[in-house]
Amino acid sequence: MKDYSVKIGIFDVAIVHKSLEFFEDLLKDDSEFLLGLYRGNRVNPVIQLWNKLTGRRYVETSIHEIIEAINALNDLGMNHTQISTLSNCLTQVLTDNPKVLSMIKKGSK
Ligand SMILES: [Zn+2]
């Protein structure tokens, strides 16, 4: 069941919070530790986030998975290094420049 959703273009991407055990089960054969995951398709796009994430880590992971979704839903073909660079930079710009966020809020009314 989704906790909320994020509108990305014409897509309504469900955000679902999952336990650490859920991510550990996914990663039995993989050494990389995941905090979040974009999966699904254009009919049922879903972002799954670890339910213990807080603060900047939560923001970073959410933005990362949103960019993963944008990449997949629009067939952009970005590699994971490009996605990570974009999500790290966007997180930094949005968290270190509160005026940018208030400008976005004012501009979207
Ligand atoms: Zn990723």
Percentage with pLDDT > 90 across the chain: 75
Query: 68 CA distance to ligand 1 centroid (A)?
Result: 6
pLDDT at position 30, please? Answer: 58
Q: Provide block-wise average pLDDT over 10 residues at a time, the chain (109 residues).
A: 92 95 76 80 94 93 96 96 95 94 89
**Separation of CA 39 and ligand 1 centre (Å):** 11
pLDDT (0 to 100) of residue 66: 97
pLDDT of residue 27: 72
The position carrying tokens 């897509």 is 11
Cα-to-centroid distance, 109 and ligand 1 (Å): 31
Give the CA angle between residues 36, 50, 28 to the nearest 5°.
70
Collapsing DSSP to helix, strand or coil, 37 comes out as strand
Q: Where are the alpha helices (DSSP H) in 27-74?
A: 55-73
Cβ 10 vs Cβ 43: under 8 Å:
no
Q: How far is the CA of 106 from the centre of ligand 1 (A)?
A: 30
Specify the pLDDT at position 21: 87
pLDDT in tens, 21-40: 888 887 766 556 688 999 98
Report how far residue 64's alpha carbon sits from residue 35's, in angstroms, rounded to the nearest whole number: 10
Domain locations in the chain?
Answer: 4-107
Would you state the pLDDT for residue 31?
A: 53
Residue 73: per-residue pLDDT: 96
pTM: 0.89
How close is the Cα of 65 to the center of ligand 1, in Å? 6
